[in-house]
Structure 1
Amino acid sequence: MLIDEELTLKKLETFLAFMRSGNLGRAAAELSTSAVSVHRAIHSLESALRCPLFKHEGRQLIPLESAYVLEKKARQLIQDAEQMVRQTREAAGFYAERFRLGALYSLTVKTVPKLVMGLKLRRSELNIDLTLGSNVDLLQRLKNHELEAILVSLDESAADPACEQLPLFSDDIFLAVPTDSPFAEQQEVDLADLADSTFITLTQGFATHRDGARVFQQAGFEPKVAMQVNDIFTLLSMVSSGVGFALLPGRIAAVYENRVRLIPLQARYRLQQHIGVVFLKAREREPNLLALLAECRMYSRQALAAYDQEDRSGAEHSG
């Protein structure tokens, strides 16, 4: 049996509102529409079903047995439809109570906790799933709709025509050495002096691996790599134990701060990472994503203000 095209979920919702209230005016008020529209929807349902639902007693509509049967089945149908929409959106990653965020390991020191706390204040009902990985891995997960947004380095690996970017802050690359290293007390280091030293790096795909390779190229040598690791905290542990040196971003300075020193590179080797949030253009109007972007803009303003304050403080001391 073909279902008449006049039989719609919207009309069933209108019918259920009338059955709850028993009055055209109250049903219209509940639906923010007119009593005429409610009456028209009910009449259209009768036409689509090809049977009466009500009898008229003066200006009142009195439900027939058919109306009570339809009420029971329509209520279940609406519940099933709502569940269908919710589960479909959840499978696609659009479920309103869940937000899947990806980030670089190094951003969990400060940036991710601050953004997550701010996002929870804006949307307290939100459950946030955090996935950590490399630039390349996180971008692939984003494009596969496994993540709603990612916090990564805004280099060429994060550039994609299907994505939008919002910058957060910039971070310098430093030489990481153990506190007992001869380099630990230097104000800055000439990387060329370490051509014979042993280094530890992240694996390929991480922004810091690629940036480190560029710095070594500028210094004119291929580093002796003792080992490659998959996260920045393992790398820091290796540096603190004296296994080798590393090139790392300044944002991880607070980790192992009593055992690892970050030494500025000479100006000719200096390189910055530009950190930001990346998301799919197709999702830019989602409420949860908009809340994250608002929090990111606030974070960016605060980071810029702190940077300006450091600049002024440095100028005063040098003066």
Structure 2
Amino acid sequence: MDVHQLELFLAVMDSPSMTRAAEKVHLSPGAVSLQLHNLAEELHTELFVRRGKHLIPTPAALRLAERAKELVKLMGHIQQEFQSDITKDTRAFHFATGVTTLIYQLGRPLRQLRSRFPNAEIRVTVGVTEEMVAGLHERRFDLALITLPVPEDNLQIIPLFDEELLVVRPSLKKTASSHIGTVRPAELGSVPFLLYPKRSNVRRAIDEIFKEIGVQPNVRMEADDTEAIKRLVESGFGYSILPEHALRGRSHFFQKFRVEGHRLTRKLALAMVSTESPRKLTEAIANFLRDALTEQAQSSPPQALRKAASKS
């Protein structure tokens, strides 16, 4: 019996099925089943009984789980004490982020990250905040860049910055990407909108914005992809509200606006599982990305222009 077997055993105890447990520990169901069989034989007891597609823990398994949690926790403390050199951490590091943030904000920080941690095997997964939070709890991700708010139970949240959101509407001719006008809330009450799906945290932030400005939006279409929404707006299908970072660059067939008297934002943060024995590499990468992203946000063109205006 070894700690690895106990970790697999606890993964099965905490999962609704063998398949989900195997996904959590990145092994095949057959490999997990074999390890559980060997553990049960060594302890001369039965750990699970099958009921349909589900594994039901026996009283012996419940007793073992109590002891196993204590031992795995102790091993975590020992590893933390003696494995402080992150350059020797050879386990894959799983980072999750949203597609819009990846495209428009993470290019330079990720290049810097790979240069800073050349020996780390960094794997990136793209998803929505809800999927990323679930992945953190299931230990599929070490770190995630999410949109707040989220339930913070068992999570360590590292706030980054507020990203500005802008109203965009179709234009018959190309407009300069640097120009941002102003629109009154009353002008948004009857126009058609193309927004992110309701399941996304960005959409929740946008819905809160509509409540704040007293507008009931006329939502005609929904789409997950920012680029798809931009193309639909340019094609004249309606207005939208999108992250400012995604609207920079070349000129477009849409106009950009801030809402008069209101600043529209979404809150970005890094999140990791809260544990007494955090992985040193996770802490190091989280601190690195926090500094890189915060510095990048502070030096972005809109921020720089606002700072210059305040000094004049």
TMscore range, shorter length: 0.5 to 0.7
3-state SS, counterpart of residue 222 of structure 1: coil
**What letter matches 2:146 in structure 1?**
V
Question: Structure 1 129/178 Cα, relative in aligned 2: closer, same or farther at 3 Å?
Answer: farther
How far, CA to CA, are the matches of 1:167 and 1:118 in structure 2?
20
Deviating more after overlay: 161-170 vs 107-116: 107-116
Scaled by the length of structure 2, what TM-score is found?
0.63
Query: 1:173 and 2:168 equivalent?
Result: no
1:298 maps to 291
Within a 5 Å distance, the mapping from 1:83-162 to structure 2 comes to 96-155=90-149, 158-162=150-154
**What letter matches 1:130 in structure 2?**
V
Give yes or no for contact 1:169–1:303 (8 Å, CA) kept in 2: no
Deviations 1:223-274 (A, max 9, x none): 222211122222222112211111112121226643343311112x323212
The number of aligned residues is: 222
Deviations 1:191-226 (A, max 9, x none): 321211110111122222112112222333322222
Give yes or no for contact 2:90–2:119 (8 Å, CA) kept in 1: no
Unaligned 5+ segments in structure 2 are: 2-88
Deviations 1:84-131 (A, max 9, x none): xxxxxxxxxxx8342211112220233222232122112112232222
Kindly state the Cα deviation for residue 181 of structure 1 after the two structures are TM-superposed: 7.8
How far, CA to CA, are the matches of 1:162 and 1:262 in structure 2?
39
Question: Structure 1 132/257 Cα, relative in aligned 2: closer, same or farther at 3 Å?
Answer: farther
Within a 5 Å distance, the mapping from 1:1-319 to structure 2 comes to 96-155=90-149, 158-180=150-172, 187-254=181-248, 257-267=251-261, 269-282=262-275, 285-303=278-296, 305-306=298-299, 309-316=304-311, 319=312
Deviating more after overlay: 249-258 vs 290-299: 249-258
3-state SS, counterpart of residue 109 of structure 1: helix
Deviations 1:147-206 (A, max 9, x none): 111101121xx2322111112221122102234389997721113212111101111222
Give yes or no for contact 1:236–1:256 (8 Å, CA) kept in 2: no
**What letter matches 1:251 in structure 2?**
H
Question: Structure 1 102/283 Cα, relative in aligned 2: closer, same or farther at 3 Å?
Answer: farther
How far, CA to CA, are the matches of 2:277 and 2:233 in structure 1?
41
How far, CA to CA, are the matches of 2:274 and 2:265 in structure 1?
26
3-state SS, counterpart of residue 212 of structure 1: helix
Flag the structure with larger Rg. 1
3-state SS, counterpart of residue 215 of structure 2: coil
Scaled by the length of structure 1, what TM-score is found?
0.61
3-state SS, counterpart of residue 102 of structure 1: strand
Unaligned 5+ segments in structure 1 are: 4-94
3-state SS, counterpart of residue 182 of structure 2: coil
RMSD over aligned Cα, in angstroms?
Answer: 2.9
